[in-house]
Chains A and B, each alone.
Chain A
Amino acid sequence: MRRILAWVRHANRRRETEDSVALRVAVGVAVMASATAVLREGVGGSLLVAAVVVGLPLAFVYSAVTRHRSGLVLKALLAVGVVVAFVAFVSRLLGDAGSIGAVQAPLAQLFLWVQLLHAFDVPARRDLLFSLASSFVLVAMAAVFSTSLGLGLHLAVWFPATVAALVLAYQSRIGRRGCIELTPAARSGHAPGPARRPVLVACAVSLAAGTAVFVALPQVGAHRGMSFPSRLPERLPIPDIGGLSNPGFDDGGVSTGDGAAAGSGRFGYFGFSRSLDTSLRGRPDDTLVMRVRASHPDFWRGQTFDTWDGRTWTQSEPESAARRLHGSSPLDVPLRREDGPASLGDEFVQTFMLEESTPNLIFGAYDIRRVHIPDDTLFQMSDGTLRTGVALGHGAVYTVVSSRPAVSEASLREADAWFASLASRDRAGALPPDLRERYTALPAGFPSSLRALSDQITAGAPTTYDAVLAIEAWLAANTNYSLDAPAPAPGVDAAEAFLLHDRVGFCEQIGTALVLLLRAQGVPARLVAGYAPGERNPFTGLFEVRGSDAHAWAEVYFPGVGWQGFDPTADVPLAADAGSSSGAALWAWIVQRLPHWPGAVWAGVAVAVAVAGGIALSVWWRRRRRRSSEAQPSWARRQAEVIEAFGARSGRPRAPAETLAGYAHRLGVRSLQDPAATIEREAFGGGITGAERRATENALAAASRDEQS
């Protein structure tokens, strides 16, 4: 017990104050960069932000100025502050009886408060290094929260500051005064410049190693933890409970018919509403709408439409018919009658992190089984789409667990035969009459020309699935994709205009065409509005979904299988396949961003880069040789300077005609003698091994430590 007490007293003994301003600045910058990195991920309220942004620099300045005082009162105040922060943390946990995931943010806040309080009392080098180590933890925390590349900005500041702080701390420890000093007495000391080269080499090696590890690592998009993130920064109930609101899309700007300026340059999509007018033109812009963490790309489904009037899709189901799901997060989504057995496939977890105000739709891959959202109510439509009771704005996060339908081409082809083999009373179970009626309905004035076209295209198709393929093939061969498709004249059937006259359209027209041509064959089908998977960012591993990724496609019902999505517009542009390495994704990402120049231009660029690189290399090599022969002190010289500094501190500087070993001997410090002999062997003998170098450096560091304590 007494030994433990003595040990504690020894560990907490008062240490020599740190006088290096540069070291304090470097540590301060590193801590500041890491703390703001955490704050920028939305952790903590305005009080914490203000406290960190204003208080942290103040704290470092204050502790630098008062570093020689014992500051017992301050220590007591800080201790009280830490206790208060901890109590606040515990009370938040108790009030927020959530999962482990709910601890993350309060924990980060607690850590920030402690970091801030600690910064007021950092007299010694050890305290500064403690702050530095904490800043590393903060950076790691920020990386966990981070969903964008903004963290890179903080890293770009934090990394050099940390390296500088480590170098300065080491120099300060071995007594080398390569930095600005506060006390004039210290300034008179021997002052060789800091050893730049080993620092640069160490930086380059660690960066290269980090890059190599990053490139070689498989890309992790899926969730690792057990808790699925969800967050609502503010709870704004939408005016029409159970209804649909689409704040990203400005309804006032819509003008139907003439096809002008729909959405007026905003990121919102007109498809996320009660109706979708296919005569509208104009597309949402490239605004980043949300980021999705998922192991695979998929279509993020939002809304479906069942009723076609010749120009506009609408949802026939009234919003009052929505099923109210009530409970605590996670909310289980009940199976519906029309869900086939295939809906019970593999679990697929997706987290949606919203950047902009989106419609109050829960997006997700078909078919959603569970939703993690910090709210107690969801509204489920009969088509499986979900709506929230609150507005979803910037900063909202929800996680969706879907089951991916386990279907194959064979199972889709067999669906018809299986259905035909059923007894008539079982058929109603496999394809309920009301479902059939609802999803095969065509308007009264449906053009016979389209029926004829449908018959013509699907004439040779033995199964429903083959019919779908035949229509897709026909659309691919006979229509062109263009965002500048002409708007249909008023009063004209939009589908007929597209399929028989213009034959130019985009996803709404093409998807609509597939649905209508299938319905003409009596196949249940519907139009779906949602988002394409977006592009996977190789650095964050997240899919970045932009306004322009808004998409419409078709869903076809197969008896015994369920709803199956088809995208007739194009092959799904998968940004990155799951399981590929980060390096491959990075390369693809870079290649995609390169300008599309002809090969000759690229060859010229390559030659120019190679020539410039060669020149730079030769200049570097020549400078290196010159420097190594002249200015740059050798390893032996630097280590000898450590011993000389040691002797100078003990009042016995080295005479010019004194050999290092003799000097170390006369200093009378046994632990310096072996290093001195080794240094001489490096300088005048045949050289020493790397192990001997390290042993010498360690021995000298140990000697300096012993000297201090």
Chain B
Amino acid sequence: MSTNATTTATQPYARAAEPSAVAYALWDNLGRVVKGKNDPIRLAVVALLSGGHLLVEDVPGVGKTLLAKSLARSMGASTARVQGTHDLMPSELTGVSVHHPHSGEWHFHPGALFANVVVVDELNRCTPRTQAALLEAMEERQVSVDGTTRPLPDPFFVVATQNPHEHAGTFPLVEGQRDRFALVTTMGYPDRASEKGLLLGRGGVPGLDDLTAVTTAAGVSAAIAATSELHVAGAVADYVLELIAATRTHPEVVLGASTRAAMWVVRAAKAHAVLCGRDYVSPADVQAVAAPALAHRLLLVGGPDAAVAAALVGRIVEQVPVPRE
């Protein structure tokens, strides 16, 4: 039944370009399970299509993991889940070579990272060493174990979660590390109706197990490739640079957005445009992804605070004029 419904829902986008159809199908499918979380769902799809990774920051119990798992399942791709703890070793992520005494050979046992979608819960509970291994793999899309370099699957998408309000026994990511994530989002509490529906278990809300794949790993790879090719007008690129420049000169900001930050804004804007069914990037796409793509890369005068940073980027977006048509 859910398959039928999905088909119907994607119908209007069947005519759209392929990446748009993939993006819409994923977004639609996530929405069946993760109720009342439109923005995180949207940003999850945007992060995936932009070829980056997603960090979800929020308190436990609001569906962070459900979102990550639903995404993996919707893609019909291999998935792995790692719970961040103090004693999580880097090799558990990357894999190890094990000596087989009978054959006398070393065999590689791949770690958790060898999956299309990797969910890392409680990232800030990992030791900095493990964090570093993960972040390096995210950047390189490959791991080196015992002198051998092994490519990670394609697509490779990491959804990390952490609770920013926990401080005891955590190792918060420094700015340079947060920079590795394309987008950072919060989950937020669901609205009252959604929560009530969850409590009552009615309304035919499908569980994670009811979710079927709406695309394939190859389909997502192709969509990512197509997204990166999207047309960006010079005026829109100028607009992005204006926003970046505004973060650099803002009095509340110690360190403004980097050039890499600008590149990720454009990539995320492309993915957002694809999700909206456009074949070009509009200033609205830039506005939609500006806060999730920039807020976590800023060093504020008052110290790290995701909400403050997001609000600051929001104000900048409201002030910088959009390019004239």
Contact = CB atoms under 8 A, between A and B. Distances in A.
A685 B325 contact: no
Contacts of B280: 681, 684-686
Interface in B253-271: none
B320 A657 contact: yes
A657 B322 contact: yes
B19 interface: no
Given A685-B280, A686-B280, A637 B324 contact: yes
B231 A685 contact: yes
A101 interface: no
A657 B284 CA distance: 10
A686 B233 CA distance: 9
B279 interface: yes
B278 interface: yes
Interface string A674-709: 000001111111100000000000000000000000
Contacts of A655: 318
B46 interface: no
Interface string B269-295: 000000000111111100100000000
Contacts of B282: 659, 661, 680, 684-685
A96 interface: no
A672 to B, nearest CB: 13
A679 B287 CA distance: 18
A640 B278 contact: no
B235 interface: yes
Contacts of B176: none
Contacts of B324: 637, 640, 683
A657 B233 contact: no
A685 B233 contact: yes
A662 interface: yes
B279 to A, nearest CB: 6
A662 B321 CA distance: 13
A655 B325 CA distance: 14
Nearest to A641: B325
A318 interface: no
A682 B325 CA distance: 8
Contacts of B321: 656-657
B317 A680 contact: no
A679 B323 CA distance: 13
Interface string B294-325: 00000000000000000000000111111111
A219 to B, nearest CB: 51
Contacts of B119: none
Max count, chain B CB within 10 A of own CB: residue among A636, A657, A660, A681: A657
Given A636-B325, A659-B287, A661-B284, A683 B235 contact: yes
Interface residues of B, number: 21
A657 B279 CA distance: 22
B322 A640 contact: no
Interface string B212-246: 00000000000000000001010110000000000
Interface in A121-179: none
A382 interface: no
Contacts of B278: 681, 685
Nearest to A662: B284
A440 to B, nearest CB: 93
B283 A659 contact: yes
B279 A686 contact: yes
A354 to B, nearest CB: 64
Contacts of A683: 233, 235, 323-325
Given A685-B233, A686-B231, A658 B322 contact: yes
A634 interface: yes
Nearest to A660: B325
Contacts of A658: 322
A679 B317 CA distance: 21
Interface string A647-679: 000000001111111100000000000000001
Interface in A355-389: none
A683 B317 CA distance: 20
A522 B325 CA distance: 94
Nearest to A638: B325
A684 to B, nearest CB: 4
A203 to B, nearest CB: 27
A634 to B, nearest CB: 7
B293 to A, nearest CB: 17
Contact of A685 (B279, B287, B319, B323): B279
A680 B279 contact: no
B265 to A, nearest CB: 15
A299 B231 CA distance: 75
B127 to A, nearest CB: 43
Contacts of A682: 325
Contact of A657 (B231, B236, B319): B319
A684 B318 contact: no
Contacts of A639: 325
Nearest to A676: B325
B269 to A, nearest CB: 11
A637 B322 contact: no
Contacts of B233: 683-685
Contact of B325 (A637, A656, A686): A637
A468 B318 CA distance: 101
A344 B278 CA distance: 79
A442 B320 CA distance: 108
B155 to A, nearest CB: 27
Contacts of A686: 231, 279-280
A684 B279 contact: no
A636 B280 CA distance: 16
B319 A679 contact: no
Interface in A618-656: 634, 636-637, 639-640, 655-656
A661 B285 CA distance: 11
Interface in B126-172: none
B31 to A, nearest CB: 21
Interface in B18-73: none
A681 B282 CA distance: 8
B325 A657 contact: no
Contact of A684 (B235, B317, B319): B235
Contacts of A656: 321-322
A594 to B, nearest CB: 52
Contacts of B318: 655, 657
Contact of A679 (B236, B322, B325): B325
Nearest to B287: A659
Contact of A634 (B284, B322, B325): B325
B284 A659 contact: yes
A634 B233 CA distance: 15
B76 to A, nearest CB: 32
Nearest to B324: A637
A45 B320 CA distance: 69
A637 B320 CA distance: 18
A637 B235 CA distance: 13
Contacts of B325: 634, 636-637, 639-640, 660, 679-680, 682-684
A657 B243 CA distance: 11
Nearest to B281: A684
Contacts of B231: 685-686
15 contacts: A637-B325, A657-B319, A657-B320, A657-B321, A657-B322, A659-B282, A662-B284, A680-B283, A683-B324, A683-B325, A684-B236, A684-B282, A684-B325, A685-B233, A685-B278
Given A659-B283, A684-B323, 16 more contacts: A634-B325, A637-B325, A639-B325, A657-B318, A657-B319, A657-B321, A657-B322, A659-B282, A661-B282, A662-B284, A683-B325, A684-B236, A684-B281, A685-B279, A685-B280, A686-B231
Closest 9 CB pairs of A and B: A685-B280, A656-B321, A683-B325, A636-B325, A640-B325, A684-B233, A659-B284, A659-B283, A680-B282
Interface of A: 634, 636-637, 639-640, 655-662, 679-686
